[in-house]
Each structure stands twice: as C-alpha cells, then as structure tokens.
Amino acid sequence: MEQISYRFLNLSDPITPGMTERFNLLVHQLSTNAESVKASYIRGIAVAHHLLFAEMIKSRLEIVGMGMLVEIKGVTGAFGHIEDVVVLDSYRSRGIGKGIVVSLIEKAAGLGFKHLDLTSKPARVPANELYKSLGFVIRETNPYRLSYEQMKEIASGRGAGN
C-alpha cells in the first residue's frame, strides 16, 4: 500500500529542482496557460501562505499533490481560503485530495479561523462532491474578477468610472 504524507513547507526547507519541477507540473494541471515558476516564487508562497504538499514515499519522497491555505485578516476577524488543491492525474481517486483538504482544515482550525472558504468550478464534479462531503456548503455570492489590464486602465484614469 502506498504511504502518503502531508506536510506544510517550512521556511527552512530547501526548494530543490525536483520540487520546483513537480510544483510546476501540478500548477499546469490547474491552468494550462500558467507560467512556470522558479524556486524563489515557491519560497514567496511559503512565506506568505500555508503551502501543503502531499508526498508519496517511494525510493524518495515524490510530490503528488498540493493545496494552499490563505490567511485573511479582515475587519471581522481572521478566516481562511483554500486555493490550488490539485493531485497529479495518475494519482487521483486514491483519497489524496481528501487528505490535502482535511490537512488544510486542521491547520485552519488550529489557527482559530472563523470560517473557511474555497471556490471550485461546477465542472469539477468529483472535487465538488468531496467538498460537500466534508461539510462545505455552497454560498450565495457573486465572484468577480478584474484583469491586470483593467486594473492598469483604472489606475491610469482611463478605465471604468472615469
């Protein structure tokens, strides 16, 4: 039986070329147009957020999934947002995604967050079923996004509202 460990990246952990390669492989499964990143970017994520790796113990540790817990300190208190939960295609349907999300929930509870949010595309049926099975409920809210180009237009005085 495969043994999976779930661990948060510590600031003292080295970011190896193999780790960077696996990180980029996972990111490209999230978004095909995502750019590859360098070790320094991964280190920045680890400094700013709680980055979790799911590692399979083979002849060496091999990253097979990841997820991130973003801490938000709002005016009504601290809460969390789960981001970028992904498992390599060849390792799906083995409970690894659930292990990642449960580890993130445990971290959020330990930090005393008021609540925990996440978003998931409706087309990601297995992921949505997992989140519901863990007690997440669909919120009635409107997600909005502003692109970098739109931000630059607004900031320069040429955009919306000007």
Q: pLDDT tens string for the chain (162 positions)? A: 578 889 898 888 889 898 899 999 999 998 888 899 999 999 888 888 888 898 887 656 789 999 999 999 989 899 999 999 999 998 998 999 999 999 999 999 999 999 999 999 899 999 999 999 999 999 998 889 999 999 999 999 876 665
Report the Cα–Cα distance between both ends of the chain, in Å, rounded: 61
Nearest CA to 97 among 65, 134, 124, 133? 65
Domain ranges of the chain: 4-117, 119-162
Per-residue confidence (pLDDT) for residue 143, from 0 to 100:
87
pTM: 0.86
CATH architecture entry for 4-117: 3-Layer(aba) Sandwich (3.40)
